[in-house]
Structure 1
Amino acid sequence: MSAAWAMVRHRFASFAGTFVAVFLGVAVVAGSATLYLSSRPQAPARYDQAPVLVTPPAPGTGDLRDRRSWTSAQASGLADRLSMIEGVTAAVPDPWFYVQRLESGRPLGDAQASLIDGHAWSSVALGGYRLTSGRAPAKAGEVVIGTATPPDAATRTSAANAGLDGSPTGVRADTAVTEATAGRVFEDAAGGAMAGITVEDSAAGKVTVGGEKVALLTSAGPVKWLVTGTVDGPGFYVTDREAAGRASGVQVIGLTVSGDPERVAEAARAVLGPDGVVRAGAERDALEPGSVTRIRWIGAQLLIALVTLGAFATVFVVSSTCALSAAQRRRELGLLRAVGATPGQVRRMMHAETALIALLAGVLGAPAGMAAAPLLAGPMVRTGLEPAGFSVTWQPAALAGAIVLGLVVSLAGVTAAARRASRIPPLDALREAAADPRPMTPARWVVGPLCGVAGGALLASMPALPLEMRSTAGLGAAMLLLSAAALLSPVLIVPLVRVVARPWRRTATGMLVREGTLTGVRRVASTAAPVLATVGLTVLLAGTVATIEVAAGIDETAKYPEGIVMVPDGTPGLSAAAVTAQGAEPELVTRILMTVGDATASGYATGRGDALVLDRFSAEKLGAAAGDTVAVRFVDGAETELPVGAVADETTLPSVMVREHDPDAMTGMLVLDKTPVATPGTRVLPIHDFVMEEIDEEGQLVDLFLLALIGLTAGYTAIAVGNTLLMATAARRGEFRALRLAGAGTGQVLRVVTAEAVLAVAVGAILGGLVAGISLAGVRAALEDEIGRDIALVLPWAATAGVTALCAALAVAAAAFPLLRGARDSPAGAS
């Protein structure tokens, strides 16, 4: 350890690449882990005064969308039983339904949040909300409007603008505000009597309590309800009876308690048995709205990808840096072997050196990453990767974990280099040669061709593979071919350099660049390999995504007849009134759970026709065919048995059943064959434009992921390239002194070094682009076979040029810096 410490202390510049790689990796891991651990589910604010919540038993499918419901009668019966428990002050069922405010015929607020904005009046007790003006609703057609938007339901303005939250393009995000600007409530001085009090609220607009009817949109269509009062919470509150009729079952019963909530929860479990799930404490957070959970999930995928890529890239850069360092220290390590150092001592010394660098980089990088995490909270909310109200909290586990992970991946990266270094013979202390000894190791000769053969075979076999596997097989073949090119780069570089440098072979600079590159194949390969991988991945990933988007647009457009479609505009779906106004029958979409024996299948079903039709996947999962009987559970908790009329492409149910059991069901889109009738919450556009909008919405999220992943990869590549050339150029000072002694000026030597760096980057970019282009052509061919149509091959020229230019700029800077720094050295020092 003392030898390792002395080496690190006196030759820290040799370990700069390892330090920077580990620092960046630990910072990425610490920051990402802090963001991930800070983003935890939270129970909705409307249950703040209900420390114990009861939900129906889970259906056992593992899909969060398959939450079961009680019927209204079942929920009332269970609430009566729960209210008898000692310590329970109230047991309140909480049915919710879709409602959205209209202003000048335009829906306000967030489409997805509005799905749960309608509530029964009795549920205000669960959030501790109070009547701030007017009176409670007493009959159908009356409503109390909330004047606040809690953090958990705050509208996702930027996500809606970017189309990343699953809501239709065109949401009026400009009308969305948060609790801080929710509005002003002027209470009646007479003690709550209705006296024309004006309320201004973000979701409710301007209404007058006590006489004005507010225009709202429900799943059935537009309605006008009399505003009887306001509460200091969010949402729209109607009578319990009307809420029960509009809601698709009851999913939550809230308990307000006096005393110990845990004791009440235990008593509730004993009373309910298998009829319900009792949640207290942190278990309540499982009731976070699905739209918010989806946002957290999307953000989590990006953070997990960043952590994984950061760890692997750190291993790669550390391994590359340590391998080059060991090659440059060959005489030094040979001298240690000559004076009696054993192979084990050499390995332990290199591991100790790397461990010291990793600990230092980790101790500095982890706090830096955690300090940067709060700066990313706002952008993540704006891009729809975290819900509104998200904030970063102190996470000591992220700090410690990132440091430990940095140490582990650094030791993993140095293992191969340390093993090779320990095999250096003592006689190497007496040798010095400019040519690289054996740039191709036996492992490269074995693994490289194997990867190439496997990748080529996979591309060749793609026409025989099932259609659904071809795109995946194409990506796998590309990864194998890129790995083969990186492993065989020392062999491929020689002929490629000869071809690229041929036009300048007769000039002095060209000759020096050509021969210096061919002599230092290991150095060039260490520079070109990361460029090859990064350019190849950029071309492959960005090109595949762009090509798939083109194919998806062609394929989806072909599913519809030529014409126009009516789609939601700022709403989660088309209301029944909007569809019937066009002279069409609503095709309501609902979610069902189907059972045959012990087999279950869940999914969406469309209300159409007068019989149950199963999609092929569900029929196979259930083992059901036409004529069999299937048990169906609807979203409102009701169950029935239906005969299977047929097996087709999608699941359909009798329309009357969907209306009866899912009052909140809406139509997704409507193909029009005549002049449309304007209705609230709808818009009309050509089918092709609609399809491309849908693809663009998903593509924006994919592009965001690509930007993050390619950016991080390019950053690590820049580190690897810069560190390789910095170390290599510093080790060639004797060679440069000899050139100046022979009459070359500093400018001439600088041109040679710069040309070598650019040549190495160009070689890597050419190899990566060629391999990725071949693989991308295979992916396109697979997609063409899959959809039966010609597809244009999309090459990401801008992204490829940007990544290559970044690598070239850093390569030139890293190669020139040691030369300029040592420009004052006397050429007499050359030996």
Structure 2
Amino acid sequence: MMVKLAVASVRRRVGSFAGTFLTAFLAVALISGSGLLLYSVLTAGPGGDRFAGADVVVAAERAVELTTSVDKGDKVKVKTKTERLTGAGVLPGELVGRVAATPGVGEVVADVAFPVALDVAGVAVRAPERAAVVGHGWGSAGLTPYALRDGVEPADGEVAVGSELGLAVGQVVGLTTKTGAREVRVAGVVGGGVPGQAAVFVADRQVVEWSGLSGPTAVAVRVAEGAEVTEVAAALEGLGVGVFTGADKVNGDLPGAVPDYIGGVSIFGFVLGITGFAAVFVLTGTVSLAVRQRLRELALLRTAGATPRQLRRLLGTEVALVTVVATVPALPVGVVVAHLVAGRFRELGAVPAQFTVSVSALVLVAAAVVGLAVTLGATSVAARRAVRISPTQALRETVTAGGGSRAPRVVAAVVPAAGAVAVLVLVPLGGALGMGMGFVSCALLLCALAAVGPLVVGAVTAVVSRVVGPAGVAGRVAGAMTRVESRRVVGVAIPLTLMFAINATMLVNGDILGAVTAEQEAARTAPATVKVANASGLPLVTAEKMAALPSVTGSALTVGTRVVVDEGGKPEDYPAQGLRLAGESALDLGVVDGELGVLEGSVAVSGPLAERRGWAVGDRPSFWLADGTRVVLPVVAVYSNWRGFGDLVLDAGLVAAHDPRGLVGAVYLRGEPDLSGFPAGSGGVGEVQNQQAAWELMVAVSLGFTAIAVVNTFAVATGARRREFGELRLAGATSRQLHRLLDWEALITVVVALVLGCAISGVVVGAFSVAQDGQWRLFADPVRYFGMVAGVGLLGLVAGAVPARVVVRLRALPRLG
């Protein structure tokens, strides 16, 4: 019976439920799309198996694993944490013989994998979809297998290349590795291969010379006829190295050539958090506003004998029906959104080029359940008071704003507000968690504002409306109406506040981070007169020749890498630089303690890392280099200009020896050297720019959803006032006067929302800015900030004006009869 009544109610009020339908549709679509992205990156495979032609792969472990034990009194809790390395450890040469002598082992292939860079006449040769270009000895070709399509296997001074590189037999190309740059001839083109990798094969006897590696990075095994793979693998484990079989064989490959989805997990997790919060927040507000606007109807039903329980069931069933109907088209739209967003992130390089969206029925069902649960929960909360108040009070509240106890609202706001303060004060916003924690604190402050909305919005409205008051009769009437109907202002202003606060916080924090990084970069490179940065990198020997030019009075060479640090039992990966200095200072790291001289056998650390780990000059912490080699180095300096550079500075020779790439990223020189005989410097889209572009894409997604939600909320609020407009027309008001009145009301509402949004984002952004460099900022780029203020304000005014004109044109006056 209740379902039939709810269906009839919805059919008769299709326009009234349109707002709830649209909001539920958008919420479910975005939650399902974000959920699919996170699910896909969590379940993404390790990529193609370059060792498909082998049964077992023996290699050094590709991750740092730390195990800690905590005595809980009654039991000992053991935790194991791992961190993936960026390089591959070199196996001792005698291990190949020991592997071959293991019972059950048939054929053994020693594989050497090392990054290479190719160019033709100085123009870099890129693999499609940013695939890694990796060199191997020709003997490794059969492991995948790669097969010759054209030409022959390489001899000394020759290479065979993958067909995806677009090179031809007989072509002369430049090949750069960390041991040097050389010209080689393309002897053959191979096909087959692995998605995400481009192979370059060299003569087996030149692998050590060109790679700079003293031994293989992996040993591939084919078991003897009649032997069991599991038994052979168990026997090989006794050698004390990693043994990989089946799908795990890919873990024996060069880490830089295998897709890394760790960054994608954090990105899509953040996307889900932003869209989920915005969807829940806006959906709750829309449903609550819709219930609030039915007070007159609910009062009449109470007068007719309906009980509060019956009204709650009716409202819940209506909203459930609308949500279910909205979910049907929302789920396929969510799949489309996931594919579009994933494609854009692939273009930006924020996720591996091989990343694809996996459609999971479980995720889609979960998104539908979440959407339904949120709407039902919002309906239950909004209906609690609406169905319990007396009919006469409900009718009275349709004319004037109701009161209600303030204490529960204040109590409900204290908890999220306290949480926001704790995050801003206690969490180190200057670290890796800064951006994410900024969003969390902003979300908590918005929740606190929503809890005390009628109180705070009412107070701000009282001030704003009086400022607008002198602007003619329409302005004074609009000011009075917004002061009286502050609850209506709350329903419209809060979504607009959400739209500005969340997106301004994310965008401005990203701008501040970019500005601080640029300032430190400028300060760091100020002493240099010439900077040479080659997108493909320079061998260390080439960079040293630049530094040794007669007219150079000082130089600094940097080799980028990653270093793993023990963070109290949890291995953490940090960006680092290998550095070699000579002569006058050509690079200013802003040393605040100690002295940055010859770094051989020592390390310098950034101020934040030193503070976090409690390190001081003279301490001897341990680190894991890119290939997993553990070193213990004394701290000789603490520096402040670390952004865009790295948290650790080690000797360039040490880094080049243990990083698979090992190329100089930049050379800083003092003087006026003649560099005509060296490779020309060239730039490229760096990781920082890609990260910023990915961040702005997340802001765009959030802005799109909240903008539609704001327009929808204005339309719902305005559509519910048809009767009021009709009564004003009866009293003699013209359409033009109504338009002016509603325009002033929209202006007041927009100003209130922007004041609150600027206040919330200002608190979060200011704390974030202080954590970066001690300076308080409201914004980094005034044009972008005030452009966003103007854009959100214009959207609010249009969203308020357009529905008002549509409703007034409907000539509600005859309906009063």
Q: Tell me if TM exceeds 0.5.
A: yes
* Cα deviation, residue 235, structure 1: 2.3
* Cα deviation, residue 697, structure 1: 5.5
- For 1:11 and 1:259, the matched residues in 2 are separated by 76
Distance 1:566 1:287, change over 3 A: farther
- 1:123 is paired with a residue of what secondary structure? helix
Residue 89 of structure 2 corresponds to 69
Aligned residues: 751
Residue 252 of structure 1 corresponds to 218
Distance 1:38 1:813, change over 3 A: same
Residue 171 of structure 1 corresponds to none
* Cα deviation, residue 121, structure 1: 0.9
1:89-104 correspondence runs (5 A): 90-104=107-121
Residue 184 of structure 2 corresponds to 225
Kindly indicate whether the alpha-carbon contact (under 8 Å) linking 1:121 and 1:239 is maintained by their aligned counterparts in 2.
yes
Residue 165 of structure 1 corresponds to none
- For 1:382 and 1:791, the matched residues in 2 are separated by 27
- For 1:442 and 1:632, the matched residues in 2 are separated by 54
Q: Does 1:235 align with 2:250?
A: no
For 1:130, the aligned partner's letter is: A
Q: Does 1:44 align with 2:44?
A: no
* Cα deviation, residue 41, structure 1: 3.2
Specify which of 797, 802, 815 is matched with residue 808 of structure 1.
797
For 1:734, the aligned partner's letter is: R
Residue 495 of structure 1 corresponds to 462
1:552-575 CA distance string (max 9 Å, x none): 322332233433343432214554
Distance 1:355 1:550, change over 3 A: same
- For 1:329 and 1:59, the matched residues in 2 are separated by 61
- 2:285 is paired with a residue of what secondary structure? helix
Q: Name the stretch that deviates more: 644-653 or 623-632.
A: 623-632
* Cα deviation, residue 251, structure 1: 3.8
For 1:553, the aligned partner's letter is: A
* Cα deviation, residue 485, structure 1: 5.2
* Cα deviation, residue 438, structure 1: 1.8
- 1:388 is paired with a residue of what secondary structure? coil
Distance 1:418 1:739, change over 3 A: closer
Q: Does 1:85 align with 2:104?
A: yes
- For 2:814 and 2:256, the matched residues in 1 are separated by 69
* Cα deviation, residue 740, structure 1: 2.0
- For 2:31 and 2:649, the matched residues in 1 are separated by 46
- For 1:607 and 1:298, the matched residues in 2 are separated by 27
- For 2:692 and 2:795, the matched residues in 1 are separated by 23
- 2:220 is paired with a residue of what secondary structure? strand
- For 1:778 and 1:632, the matched residues in 2 are separated by 32
TM-score (norm 1): 0.77
* Cα deviation, residue 133, structure 1: 4.0
Residue 702 of structure 1 corresponds to 692
- For 2:662 and 2:504, the matched residues in 1 are separated by 43
Residue 145 of structure 1 corresponds to 160
Kindly indicate whether the alpha-carbon contact (under 8 Å) linking 2:750 and 2:796 is maintained by their aligned counterparts in 1.
yes
Q: Does 1:747 align with 2:736?
A: yes
Residue 368 of structure 2 corresponds to 403
- 1:314 is paired with a residue of what secondary structure? helix
Residue 59 of structure 1 corresponds to 64
Residue 606 of structure 1 corresponds to 578
For 2:468, the aligned partner's letter is: A
Residue 327 of structure 2 corresponds to 362
- 1:671 is paired with a residue of what secondary structure? strand
- For 1:730 and 1:537, the matched residues in 2 are separated by 27
Specify which of 141, 144, 155 is matched with residue 124 of structure 1.
141
* Cα deviation, residue 423, structure 1: 2.9
- 1:438 is paired with a residue of what secondary structure? coil
Distance 1:811 1:638, change over 3 A: closer
* Cα deviation, residue 13, structure 1: 2.8
- For 2:636 and 2:791, the matched residues in 1 are separated by 54
1:721-732 correspondence runs (5 A): 721-732=710-721
Residue 18 of structure 2 corresponds to 16
1:177-196 correspondence runs (5 A): 183=166
Residue 670 of structure 1 corresponds to 667
Structure 1, unpaired ranges of 5+: 150-181, 184-200, 685-689
TM-score (norm 2): 0.78
- For 1:230 and 1:25, the matched residues in 2 are separated by 51
Distance 1:646 1:748, change over 3 A: closer
Residue 681 of structure 2 corresponds to 683
Q: Does 1:4 align with 2:6?
A: yes
For 1:240, the aligned partner's letter is: D
- 2:286 is paired with a residue of what secondary structure? helix
Distance 1:309 1:98, change over 3 A: closer
Residue 756 of structure 1 corresponds to 745
Kindly indicate whether the alpha-carbon contact (under 8 Å) linking 1:451 and 1:481 is maintained by their aligned counterparts in 2.
yes
1:302-345 CA distance string (max 9 Å, x none): 43333222222222222212222222222333444455555444
For 2:32, the aligned partner's letter is: A
1:369-426 CA distance string (max 9 Å, x none): 2244444554333222343354445433332232222223323333421333343235
Residue 811 of structure 2 corresponds to 823
- For 1:596 and 1:757, the matched residues in 2 are separated by 52
- 1:102 is paired with a residue of what secondary structure? strand
* Cα deviation, residue 97, structure 1: 1.7
Kindly indicate whether the alpha-carbon contact (under 8 Å) linking 1:565 and 1:672 is maintained by their aligned counterparts in 2.
yes
For 1:279, the aligned partner's letter is: F
- For 2:494 and 2:287, the matched residues in 1 are separated by 15
Distance 1:294 1:286, change over 3 A: same
- For 1:70 and 1:495, the matched residues in 2 are separated by 72
Kindly indicate whether the alpha-carbon contact (under 8 Å) linking 2:626 and 2:659 is maintained by their aligned counterparts in 1.
yes
- For 1:597 and 1:369, the matched residues in 2 are separated by 41
* Cα deviation, residue 632, structure 1: 7.6
- For 2:91 and 2:316, the matched residues in 1 are separated by 65
Kindly indicate whether the alpha-carbon contact (under 8 Å) linking 1:451 and 1:480 is maintained by their aligned counterparts in 2.
yes
Q: Does 1:423 align with 2:423?
A: no
- 2:754 is paired with a residue of what secondary structure? helix
For 1:761, the aligned partner's letter is: V
* Cα deviation, residue 543, structure 1: 2.9
- For 1:644 and 1:514, the matched residues in 2 are separated by 68
* Cα deviation, residue 37, structure 1: 4.1
- For 2:368 and 2:423, the matched residues in 1 are separated by 40
Kindly indicate whether the alpha-carbon contact (under 8 Å) linking 1:564 and 1:671 is maintained by their aligned counterparts in 2.
yes
Distance 1:798 1:291, change over 3 A: farther
Residue 77 of structure 2 corresponds to none
Kindly indicate whether the alpha-carbon contact (under 8 Å) linking 2:458 and 2:483 is maintained by their aligned counterparts in 1.
no
- For 2:225 and 2:364, the matched residues in 1 are separated by 39
* Cα deviation, residue 350, structure 1: 3.0
* Cα deviation, residue 31, structure 1: 2.6
Kindly indicate whether the alpha-carbon contact (under 8 Å) linking 1:250 and 1:636 is maintained by their aligned counterparts in 2.
no
Kindly indicate whether the alpha-carbon contact (under 8 Å) linking 1:314 and 1:410 is maintained by their aligned counterparts in 2.
no
Distance 1:221 1:326, change over 3 A: same
User: RMSD of the alignment, in Å?
Assistant: 4.5
Distance 1:746 1:611, change over 3 A: closer
Distance 1:586 1:63, change over 3 A: same
Residue 521 of structure 2 corresponds to 556
Distance 1:301 1:523, change over 3 A: same
* Cα deviation, residue 777, structure 1: 5.3
- 1:91 is paired with a residue of what secondary structure? strand
Residue 644 of structure 2 corresponds to none
For 1:352, the aligned partner's letter is: T
Distance 1:91 1:741, change over 3 A: same
1:676-732 CA distance string (max 9 Å, x none): 424555528xxxxx9xx99x862553244234335424533542x434443333333
Distance 1:526 1:274, change over 3 A: farther
1:638-649 correspondence runs (5 A): 644=634, 646=636
Kindly indicate whether the alpha-carbon contact (under 8 Å) linking 2:36 and 2:335 is maintained by their aligned counterparts in 1.
yes
Kindly indicate whether the alpha-carbon contact (under 8 Å) linking 1:147 and 1:231 is maintained by their aligned counterparts in 2.
yes
- 2:672 is paired with a residue of what secondary structure? coil
Residue 70 of structure 2 corresponds to none
Distance 1:429 1:412, change over 3 A: closer
For 2:147, the aligned partner's letter is: R
